[in-house]
Amino acid sequence: MRLKSLALACTLAAAPVYAADITVPGGTYELKPTHSSLHWKVKHFGISNYFAGFTGISATLELDAAEPTNSQLTASVKTASVDTGFPWPEEDSWDAELAGPDWFNSAEFPTADFKATNLELTGDNTGQMTGDMTFMGVTKPVTFEVELVGQLPERKHADGAVIGFAGTARFNRSDFGLDQLIPVASDEVMLFINAEFHQVVSE
């Protein structure tokens, strides 16, 4: 009996506890763009990592505080807001070239959109969020590894509660029809997202 009890105790101790402790109230939260970021990474010639991002980001979180896996998320990115940090003002703008018809074609596809379809908790403050990403007119499932970074029921200089997440995802850009210069610039893209959401408070 003692051996069985010991084995049971060891099993319970080793089992992961998936219980995200949400201390902010449920409801609608909007992304705070000035406190959030979206960056992407590709490999350049297979010898270095090239980073850039987008500045025109928005998102809405319908948070179910009692059952976080029931929460809903939608997000949108303005593809013309690409920011490489190298606009080359004395020549052609690299930002404008990427936003142009040979790359993101933002005139025809002004936004890239994401709608979450499933969230599974993988740890106390971590999870996997899968959703439909629409980019350049193509919709494919993409999975993010997400982490609850922090939360405050009340915050100075902000009405209502605040909650923040970080997320990463990998996908092949060729799946969305963006296959220029592969493998000079890698097919695989990695996304890095840091998102601060502020509760929408009714007046």
**DSSP track, 160-190:** S-EEEEEEEEEEEGGGGT--TTTTTB-SEEE
| Domain limits, the chain | 27-199
Residue 133 amino acid letter: M
Class assignment of domain 27-199?
Answer: mainly beta
- CA–CA distance, 106 with 83 (Å, rounded to integer): 13
The pLDDT value recorded for residue 156 is 72
Residues 65-114: tens digit of each pLDDT: 999 999 999 999 999 999 998 867 677 889 999 999 999 999 999 999 99
Closest residue by Cα to residue 172 from 187, 190, 192, 185: 187
Model-level pTM? 0.86
